[in-house]
Chains A and B, each alone.
Chain A
């Protein structure tokens, strides 16, 4: 029922935006900004660039609304735009993440031991971000999107124009690669 109400609300919002209602577009930005920004910030890992890209996404949404036929859900269409903006950027400039800062004393294992959990988590998160930055752009986007609340496998599959099974397989491969990086190169 909620899903139906959401879909109806979404359609009404799109119609208001199309009729040139500025308040409606502002509502759309407010509704999706957290998700769009988090997804981009987790993929590009540069806050100012992430904000610029997120604005670019909403500009494209605004330009594209007159042509949005409503065959897909609005959120799915927005994810597709996010994916295009992120992947276009990745193909323009390959990210180079310095690994010099990574500890190389060899004593740190991926699974936390007896050391203080909070400190261990911070350290692990840092290593995790570095490992994610080394993934191929499409894997990075999948990891970013899948672990954000509200982004379903189905939405991802539709947004990336991939079969559901492929999305799951790629996600598993991305995680395998992450584990390998954390267990070996980023140890």
Chain B
């Protein structure tokens, strides 16, 4: 015997997975090379078992949860944008459909008078509203601020 055989078994013997039988045990006891190999394999086994297990920082869970929330928020944002785009496409398609229908039925030929009337109404509405513009501007600013606060709060919201 059989150094090759003994050396092949060294790792398993050192790990305690194999108990050397009489022949193998005798060889480890008498062959200096195999005996040294077994000693170093046992030492390696001891060191590997004693290898410290690094611990994560105390903030690990909190940081991970923040990353998870951010990722979730981003994916929800993508969904929101996708939904809004889909709605816009549908609205445009419906508008285009209505326009084509109106065009084919010849209603457009009488619509110039209607457009003039709508234009005049809009001008009259603008003249009536002009004195209250600062109030409307203030209301718009308030609305934008509220939307901003909502967006900020939603960004760090939980699941």
Contacts and interface: CB of A to CB of B under 8 A. Distances in A.
Contact of A41 (B36, B47, B54): B54
Task: Please classify the interface of chain B as helix (H, G, I), strand (E, B), loop, or mixed, using the class held by over half of its residues.
Answer: helix
A22 B4 CA distance: 57
B68 interface: yes
Interface residues of A, number: 42
Contacts, number: 101
Contacts of B57: 51
Contacts of A121: 47, 50
Given A55-B63, A59-B71, A42 B40 contact: no
A178 B43 CA distance: 12
B54 A59 contact: no
Interface in B56-80: 56-57, 60-61, 63-65, 67-68, 71-72
A47 B11 contact: no
Contacts of B54: 37-38, 41-42, 47, 50
A132 B60 CA distance: 26
A53 B151 CA distance: 29
Contacts of A34: 53, 55-56
Contacts of B11: 171-172, 175-176
Contacts of A38: 53-55
B63 A172 contact: no
A98 interface: no
Given A37-B56, A38-B53, A50-B54, A58 B44 contact: no
Determine chain A's interface SS by DSSP, over half rule. helix
B19 interface: no
Interface in B10-53: 10-12, 17, 36-37, 39-41, 43-45, 47-51, 53
B43 A110 contact: yes
Contact of A63 (B41, B71, B158, B159): B71
Contact of A54 (B12, B37, B56, B68): B56
A128 B51 contact: yes
Contacts of B50: 121, 125
Interface string A155-187: 000000000000010011001101100110000
Interface centre among B40, B48, B64, B71 (most CB of A within 10 A): B64
Given A20-B159, A55-B63, 10 more contacts: A25-B68, A33-B61, A37-B56, A55-B60, A59-B64, A111-B40, A111-B43, A125-B47, A125-B50, A175-B44
Interface of B: 10-12, 17, 36-37, 39-41, 43-45, 47-51, 53-57, 60-61, 63-65, 67-68, 71-72, 158-159
Instruction: State the 9 A-B residue pairs at the shortest beta-carbon distance, nearest first.
Output: A41-B54, A38-B53, A37-B56, A172-B11, A22-B159, A20-B159, A147-B48, A55-B64, A175-B11
